[in-house]
Structure formats: structure tokens, C-alpha cells
Amino acid sequence: MIKKKLVFSGVQPTGNLHLGNYLGAIKNFVALQKEMKCIYCVVDLHAITVFQKPHQLQENVLETVASFLATGLDPNKSILFNQSSVSGHAELAWILNCVSRIGWLNRMTQFKDKAGSEKEKASVGLYIYPNLMAADILLYKATHVPVGADQKQHLELSRDIAQKFNNDFNCKNFFPMPEPLIPKNVSRIMSLRDGTKKMSKSEDSDYSRINLKDSADEIIKKIKKAKSDSEQIPDNLKSLEKKPEALNLINIYSEITKNSLDKVLNEMSGKEYSFLKTKLSEVLINEVTPIGKEIKKLLGDKVYLGQILKKGREKANIIAEENLKNIREKVGLI
């Protein structure tokens, strides 16, 4: 049987999208819409696993759609919508809560990172977040999921859940095993302040990330302040591996200029990091500020953004309802 390829991925509306979201995931979303049918979702139900101010959440949903459009997602090619508007996500999540195992969830490192030492006070939603992510993907029987490296473990869990569902309900191949599409060099863009932590929307310091809406001045300031190294740029990757902040800057430069890491090191070796920082600011300004301008422009027409979501919801709901009908039948729900 030839599997029909279908891409699904989501982004949380938890604030400004940043360079990590863009290089690690969204750039890939845009490339994939040329090859396959794609469904991209603003995952607002995931966002509320950590408290969100209601009004701010609504604004963030619209801003995430605006960011999708500004980075090149085309609503005529891809389905763009917000998760809570298709109730099948929550329904399937409940069914999968009953398939997934507590032992599996206990291994999820993102819950441990996000809950930290306050585990007892974390929401139940944050704990079962990976089951909802499995539901997002399996609701559409997606075969490919473009994500950053931080989501690899959750995707493996989605595969385990799909496999167990197929076994439990004796329906081999009912859910396809979703495959992660993780970019090779930019799967984990690191914080500009601490090269051992990933760049993240929820990090307190805005200096830790480049936001897609940052102005040229902000980009220059942030890159200037970014941690690097007091020694000169080395000529080989091995020496860089012990300097995560410096490696992160070189890596971002290599990705944006589409030159290999070796080529970048050839060009830069022996120079001070200030040289790299000037060049990096230039290429980032060229890549990021047109996106930021477009996001701001799109946010000026919220009616249009609402229409995009509505159209996407209608299309997504047709696929979701069709699949849910079969899922309910398999489980024995009348």
C-alpha cells in the first residue's frame, strides 16, 4: 500500500516567534508546502498548559498566523488554523490518554525541564501535553512532522502511541508511524546568553533571542551583546565544540548564508568575533526584518487573519471528522 504523504506541525502562541522557531521549524514548513499536502496549526491548547492571560492569548494566536503568512506559508497551499477550533484534537487526546502509559510520560524530559522543582504544582495538562501532540498528528494521519530537535522525544512517543493503538484495536497500519523531519544543523538554535540552553520565547531576557519582529537596531544590539569567546575564531570545528556560544553564532551565520561550517571557518579563522558579529548582524537584518515588517503589516488587518483561520478550520475539520468517525468505531464508541 502506498502511504499518502501528509505533513502536520504546530507552533505555540506563547509570544514572539524567534530565530529558533524560524530556522528550526517554520522555514522547513515553507519548503515542504511545495512538495506535500501540509497542515500547520497554532496550538493554543498546548499554550494553556502554562497559564496565559486570555486577552494576550488571543493576540498571540493572531500574531502566530501573521508570522506563518509573513514567512511564506500560503493558505491556498497549506491548511492554517488554530487547534482549539477543531474539537477533534481534544476528543482524540482523551482517547489517546487511555492508550498512552504513565511510564512513557514519566520519561519526557521537556516536562521535567518546564516543571523544574515545582513538579507538584505543574498543571496536569503540562504532564499529558505529549498525548495531545500525538492526537494533533494522528487526527490527520500525518506521515511527516517537521520539528526542532527538542520535539524528537515527543514524536517518538507519538509513534509508540500509534503503534499501541493499532495493536490494541487490531487494526495494523490504521495510524501511520509519523516521521520527524528535523533540520540537520539548525535543529537546536541556542540562547545568545547561554550556549547550553535553547533559544526560547519564555526565557526572561530578551537579549537571549532574536525575535522575528526585532528592528535592525535591536538585532545589532543583541548580536553585539551575545556571548562569544575572547580568543580568535579557530580554523576547525573541534576547537569550537567546547565553546557553545561561539559555535551557535557560527552555526546561525552558516545557515543563513547557506555556506557550510567548514567554508565559514575558512573565511573567518584568525579573526576576532567582532568581525563575525558585524557580518552576522548584516545577514540577519536582511533575512529577519522584512519578515518582521510583514508581520506588523498583517497585524493591522485582524479581520483578514480571522478569515484565514476560519477557512483553515473548515478544511481541517472535514479531514478530522472523517478520521474520527473511524477512530470512534475502532474503539467501540457509538
Known catalytic residues are: 114, 198, 201
User: In whole angstroms, how close is the CB of 17 to ligand AQP at the nearest point?
Assistant: 7
Strands 78-82 and 179-181 come out as unpaired
User: In whole angstroms, how close is the CB of 232 to ligand AQP at the nearest point?
Assistant: 27
Nearer to ligand AQP, 68 or 273 (CB): 68
- Helical (H) or strand (E) element with 37: strand 37-42
User: In whole angstroms, how close is the CB of 250 to ligand AQP at the nearest point?
Assistant: 15
Residues 161-200 that bind ligand AQP (CB under 6 A): 187-189, 198-200
Nearer to ligand AQP, 194 or 267 (CB): 194
Question: Are the CB atoms for 131 and 93 separated by under 8 Å?
Answer: yes
Nearer to ligand AQP, 147 or 162 (CB): 147
Question: Are the CB atoms for 138 and 331 separated by under 8 Å?
Answer: no
**Binding of residue 254 to ligand AQP (CB under 6 A):** no
Neighbours of 66 (CB within 10 A): 25
Helix (H, G, I), strand (E, B) or coil at 295: helix
**Binding of residue 147 to ligand AQP (CB under 6 A):** yes
Nearest CA to 203 among 41, 29, 69, 21?
A: 21
Nearer to ligand AQP, 17 or 220 (CB): 17
Question: Are the CB atoms for 175 and 141 separated by under 8 Å?
Answer: yes
CB nearest ligand AQP: which residue? 24
Question: Are the CB atoms for 137 and 8 separated by under 8 Å?
Answer: yes
**Binding of residue 148 to ligand AQP (CB under 6 A):** yes
Query: In one letter, which amino acid is 264?
Result: V
Measured CA to CA, the distance from residue 252 to residue 237 in angstroms comes to 14
Q: Exactly one of 12, 16, 85, 158 binds ligand AQP (CB under 6 A); which one?
A: 12
Full strand arrangement of the beta sheet holding 179-181: 78-82, 37-42, 6-11, 144-146, 179-181
**Binding of residue 44 to ligand AQP (CB under 6 A):** no
User: In whole angstroms, how close is the CB of 192 to ligand AQP at the nearest point?
Assistant: 11
CA–CA–CA angle 327, 329, 330 (5° rounding): 65
Q: Exactly one of 63, 150, 218, 255 binds ligand AQP (CB under 6 A); which one?
A: 150
Q: Exactly one of 76, 196, 202, 230 binds ligand AQP (CB under 6 A); which one?
A: 202
Nearer to ligand AQP, 144 or 188 (CB): 188
Measured CA to CA, the distance from residue 22 to residue 105 in angstroms comes to 28
**Binding of residue 208 to ligand AQP (CB under 6 A):** no
User: In whole angstroms, how close is the CB of 168 to ligand AQP at the nearest point?
Assistant: 29
Measured CA to CA, the distance from residue 26 to residue 307 in angstroms comes to 21
Task: Give residues in contact with ligand AQP (CB under 6 A).
Answer: 11-12, 14, 20-21, 24-25, 147-148, 150-151, 187-189, 198-202
